[in-house]
Structure 1
Amino acid sequence: MLVIPEPDLPSSRLKPSETATLKCCYRSSRNFTVYWVKIVHNKNGTLASFVTSRVYDFSRETVAGANENVICHKLTLKNVTLKDAGLYKCYVDVGNSSLKHSVYTHGTCLQVCKPKTSKSISNRFKNNIITAEGVLLLICVVIPGLLLLSKAKRQTTLEIKYYKEQENLYEGLNVEECSSTYHQIEPSQLPQTYEDVENTVTKDVEPEKP
C-alpha cells in the first residue's frame, strides 16, 4: 500500500486579517489520519509545530480529490497575522501499517506581508520633492551670491592696488621745490633765437645797378 503526495500550491501571499485556505492531497487506497504541520525557519534553526496550537480560528476538513483514490485535506486560517507565515505541510500518520516511514506532503508556503499604504508612499514622495526643491533653491541662491561676492572682492583688490601705485608714483616728488624752480626761470635768461628779419634783409641785400 502506497501513499503518494500530490502537488500542492507552492505559495500563497496574503495581507493581515485575510483568510488563508490551504489544501494538501495524497493518493492512497486508504484514508489515514492527517495532521497539519507548520514549519518555520528562524535564526535558531527549523521549528515544526502542529497547527492545533494556533490561537486564532482554524478549521480542518477532508474533501474529495480530483481523481479516484486522491484524498485532500483543507485548512482554513481566519484573520491571518505575520506570525502565521511559514511552510504548511500535511503529516500523514500511517500508524502500524506496512509503511516504514510517515509521509509529508510537499507543502504550501504562506506569506503574510504588511502592505505599504498609499498614504505613506505619497508622504515619502512629497518629502523627497520638498527636499529636492530645497536643495535647488539653496543652489540657486548661494552660488550667484558667492559669484557676486567674489567679483566685488576682486574689484576692491584692483582699486586698492591702483591707489597704491598712484601713491608710489608721486611719493618722490616735492611739489614746492618744483614750483620754486619754475618761477626762477626768467624770460631774459632765455636765448634770443629770433632776430629782426626785416632789418637783416635790408642790410645784406642791395639792389643791382643797371
Structure 2
Amino acid sequence: MKQFEKMNQKVILASFAGSTAHDEVILLPDRPFLKVQLSKSASLECCFKNAPSNFTWEKRDVSDKLYHVNSSGEDIIQISYKKPEGEVCGNITFRSVQLNDTGLYQCKLINTQIFTPGTYMQVYKPMEKLIILSESTKNTILTVEGILLLLCVLFPSAMLLFKSKSLHELEMKKVAREEENIYQGLNLDDCCSTYDQIERSQAQGPYQDVGNIMEETGEIQLEKP
C-alpha cells in the first residue's frame, strides 16, 4: 500500500503539472478504491471537464509499471460519453475480473501527460468452506450444545445439594452420639435416690411444724436439709 501511496502522489503531481500547462482541463475526482470478488463484474469511471474525449485507460501494477488497457472482445468494454454539465467521462467494464486485474486504473488524455487520480481495483478470492453443513445439521448441533450447557449448569447444583444433605445427616448422627455419651455417665441408683428426696421434700414442705413435734415427742429434731 505504501508503494501505491507514493504512486498516487506522483500521479497528483503529474496531474498538477498538466493542469498548469492546460488551464482549460479540469480533473474530476474518481472513486479511490473498489474491491471485487473473483469472476464478478466491475465498472470504473473517470471524468474531465473542458477536455476532448480522446483519452485512454492505463493500468499501474504493484511495481509501478504502466500498461495500456485494451478492449478484448466482450471481457473488457470501454465507452466514452458527455454529460449535460459539459463533462467528458469514460467507463470501462470488466465482465469477469481475474486476480491479475488488480491495479490502479487511470484515464490519460492522448498526447499529454494528464492522468486522472484513478481507482485502485483489488480482486480477491473468497475463502472456501472446509465443512459444508445443511441447515438441519446446524440446528441439531445447536440443540445438542444447549442440552450440554444445561447439564453443565444442573450437574454442579445437584452435587451441591447431595453434599449438603450428607453433611446434614452426619450432623444429626453426631448430635445423637453426644446425647448418648451424656446419659452413659449417669448412675441410675443415684438418680432414683435424688428423685425420692426431692419428692419427699415437696410432700413435707420446706419447713417443719416445731410446735407439733414438741407436743408429740417432747423433743425437737429437725431434718437436715
Distance in 1 between residues matched to 2:65 and 2:86, nearest whole Å: 28
Alignment match, 2:153? 139
Contact 2:77 2:94 in 1 (8 A): no
Contact 2:38 2:97 in 1 (8 A): yes
Distance in 1 between residues matched to 2:186 and 2:162, nearest whole Å: 38
Relative to structure 1, the CA distance from residue 105 to residue 19 in structure 2 (aligned partners, 3 Å threshold; closer, same or farther) is same
Q: Deviations over 1:122-156 (max 9, x none)?
A: 6997456643442123213331x123212322222
Q: How does 1:106-117 map to 2 (within 5 A)?
A: 106-110=117-121, 114=126
Give the C-alpha shift of residue 63 in structure 1. 1.9
Higher helix proportion, which one?
2
Contact 1:24 1:74 in 2 (8 A): yes
Relative to structure 1, the CA distance from residue 107 to residue 124 in structure 2 (aligned partners, 3 Å threshold; closer, same or farther) is farther
Give the C-alpha shift of residue 89 in structure 1. 2.5
State the TM-score, normalized to the length of structure 2.
0.50
Higher strand proportion, which one?
1
Question: Does 2:25 correspond to 1:3?
Answer: yes
Relative to structure 1, the CA distance from residue 66 to residue 15 in structure 2 (aligned partners, 3 Å threshold; closer, same or farther) is same
Q: Which one of 28, 39, 47 corresponds to residue 25 of structure 1? A: 47
Relative to structure 1, the CA distance from residue 116 to residue 13 in structure 2 (aligned partners, 3 Å threshold; closer, same or farther) is farther
Q: Which one of 151, 154, 162 corresponds to residue 149 of structure 1? A: 162
Alignment match, 2:17? none
- Counterpart code for 2:42: A
Contact 2:57 2:69 in 1 (8 A): no
Q: Deviations over 1:154-209 (max 9, x none)?
A: 2222123123203321342467xx59x98xxxxxxxxxxxxxxxxxxxxxxxxxxx
Q: Which one of 171, 183, 205 corresponds to residue 158 of structure 1? A: 171
Relative to structure 1, the CA distance from residue 124 to residue 139 in structure 2 (aligned partners, 3 Å threshold; closer, same or farther) is same
Q: Secondary structure at the match of 2:179?
A: helix
Contact 2:61 2:102 in 1 (8 A): no
Relative to structure 1, the CA distance from residue 111 to residue 129 in structure 2 (aligned partners, 3 Å threshold; closer, same or farther) is farther
Q: Which one of 92, 110, 114 corresponds to residue 103 of structure 1? A: 114
Q: Deviations over 1:60-85 (max 9, x none)?
A: 53423225875433323232256655
Distance in 2 between residues matched to 1:110 and 1:123, nearest whole Å: 39
Contact 2:25 2:49 in 1 (8 A): yes
Distance in 2 between residues matched to 1:110 and 1:169, nearest whole Å: 95
Distance in 1 between residues matched to 2:48 and 2:41, nearest whole Å: 24
State the TM-score, normalized to the length of structure 1.
0.52
Relative to structure 1, the CA distance from residue 91 to residue 123 in structure 2 (aligned partners, 3 Å threshold; closer, same or farther) is farther
Contact 1:60 1:73 in 2 (8 A): no
Q: Percent identity?
A: 23
